[in-house]
């Protein structure tokens, strides 16, 4: 797992837990009051310090989500590159990631599909290619 994904998950949970802690500490234990209290926190009616904390917590949660998705995108790009390199090394013209042709619920997997005009396509488990 890439470090950006690990840091992103950590930041996201710290931010979400911070928002929840501020909500409950400000009297929003009842579901019906949570948006009202969140509005009061955001506007600063419950204090400037709490306003800064809630904004920081939302910033942490958003930044964490972005970093987490960046880590996932990096892992996907690495897997696609491994697939392409494996297919070229095996004598195919192209390799790409896609769904498996096996469509049963028990047999579905992310496939590395090697294609060439003069050969039948080759389908491998994408996670097992190049490791």
* Predicted confidence (pLDDT) per residue in 54-84, tens digit: 999 999 999 999 999 999 999 999 999 999 9
Q: What string of H, E and C letters represents the secondary structure of the chain?
A: CCHHHHHHHHHHHHHHHHHHHHHHHCCCCCHHHHHHHHHHHHHCCCCHHHHHHHHHHHHHHHHHHHHHHHHHHHHHHHHHHHHHHHHHHCCCCEEEEEECCCCCCCCCCEEEEEEECCEEEEEEEHHHCCC
Q: pLDDT tens digit string along 98-127?
A: 888 776 666 778 889 999 999 998 888 888
pTM over 0.85: no
- What percentage of the chain has pLDDT greater than the value 70? 96
């Amino acid at each position: 797992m890439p470090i950006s994904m690990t840091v992103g998950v950590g930041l996201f949970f710290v931010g979400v837990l911070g928002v929840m802690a501020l909500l409950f500490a400000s009297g929003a234990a009842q579901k019906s009051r949570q948006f009202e209290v969140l509005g009061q926190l955001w506007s600063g009616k419950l204090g400037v310090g709490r306003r800064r904390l809630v904004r920081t917590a939302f910033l942490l949660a958003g930044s964490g989500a972005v970093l987490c998705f960046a880590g996932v995108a990096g892992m996907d790009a690495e897997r696609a590159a491994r697939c392409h390199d494996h297919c070229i090394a095996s004598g195919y013209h192209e390799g790409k990631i896609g769904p498996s042709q096996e469509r049963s619920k028990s047999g579905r997997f992310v496939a590395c599909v090697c294609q060439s005009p003069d050969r039948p396509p080759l389908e491998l488990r994408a996670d097992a290619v190049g490791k």
